[in-house]
């Protein structure tokens, strides 16, 4: 049995579908499983990663786990999973670990990786960079004003489709040879936010505006929704994003197929921007 945590999330829901399509026994963990929608045959169970005493039933009979860090980071999960017989944990980590503990996002994921190592289970770490789904934050502005305003608009990065992260995760969970591996993951092209907006405009048949806003104003806006240390971590990641501008072949090497381009992703999710 394979347990997928974060099963209704950006990546987890695709991991569930990939494993189910491959004929694997899948259990989807959700705080509210009655509200979730999964393919027929997927087992669902209630549990909260921030509350270890809710996880015993979810972990019963499980050999492998896909672990997504909850917003309220709880590092007890790997130890608890191992105590229940889990042999292999595939962790959704982040490229931000390369910035070390000075960066809050990198620090959280480094601690999670260490917790998995210390659990005694076999492990695989997935380290994606930016997600294509981050562009959903532009949707309201595109629909209402036909313009996108972002900081660091001229920075190029190889954002990745969450479906491709999930495909790598599913391979690591359903086949041998991935134990002890660290997989840095990117999309197939490094493009700027302004280029992404141009692609969205072409697909929508609209002329979209684009403006780069000052970093200070962007930081102030983010502080309304996120802790200061996370905001500062995001600003730092963007400021030094040239460190993550290289396109990597990991997705194709692991899955046997190339990752989706931004144009493919946008075309498949265009209704969100209409």
pLDDT band at 72 (very low <50, low <70, confident <90, very high): low
For helices 215-222 and 228-239, give the axis angle rounded to 10 degrees.
Answer: 150
For position 228, what pLDDT does the model report? 76
Q: Which domains does the chain have, with CATH numbers?
A: 2-132+160-188+246-261 (3.40.50.720)
How do residues 149-181 score in pLDDT, each as one tens digit? Answer: 887 777 888 999 999 999 999 999 999 999 999
Residue 214 DSSP class: P
Least confidently predicted of 52-61, 237-246, 260-269: 237-246
Residue with the bigger pLDDT between 226 and 29: it is 29
Whose structure tokens read 């972002």? 150
Decide: 123 and 179 in contact? Cβ < 8 Å. yes
Element (H, E) at 81: helix 77-83
How do residues 75-89 score in pLDDT, each as one tens digit? Answer: 889 999 999 999 999
């Amino acid at each position: 049995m394979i347990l997928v945590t974060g099963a209704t999330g950006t990546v987890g829901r695709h991991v569930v579908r990939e494993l189910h399509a491959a004929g694997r026994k899948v259990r989807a963990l959700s705080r509210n499983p009655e509200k979730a929608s999964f393919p027929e045959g997927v087992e669902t169970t209630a549990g909260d990663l921030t509350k270890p005493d809710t996880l015993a039933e979810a972990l019963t009979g499980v050999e492998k786990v896909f672990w997504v860090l909850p917003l309220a980071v709880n590092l007890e999960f790997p130890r608890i999973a191992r105590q229940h017989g889990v042999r292999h944990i595939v962790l959704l980590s982040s490229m931000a670990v390369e910035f070390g503990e000075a960066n809050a996002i990198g620090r959280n994921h480094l601690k999670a990786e260490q917790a998995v190592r210390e659990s005694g289970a076999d492990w695989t770490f997935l380290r994606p960079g930016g997600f294509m789904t981050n562009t959903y934050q532009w949707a309201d502005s595109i629909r209402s004003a036909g313009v996108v305003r972002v900081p660091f608009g001229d920075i190029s990065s190889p954002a990745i489709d969450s479906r491709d992260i999930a495909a790598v995760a599913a391979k690591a969970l359903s086949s041998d040879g991935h134990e002890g591996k660290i997989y840095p993951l990117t999309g197939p092209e490094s493009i700027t936010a302004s280029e992404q907006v141009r692609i969205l405009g072409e697909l929508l048949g609209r002329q979209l505006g684009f403006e780069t806003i000052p970093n200070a104003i962007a930081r102030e806006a983010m502080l309304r929704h996120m802790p200061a240390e996370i905001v500062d971590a995001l600003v730092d990641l963007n400021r030094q994003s040239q460190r993550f501008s290289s396109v990597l072949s990991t997705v194709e090497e692991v899955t046997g197929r190339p990752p989706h381009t931004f144009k493919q992703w946008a075309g498949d999710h265009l209704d969100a921007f209409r």
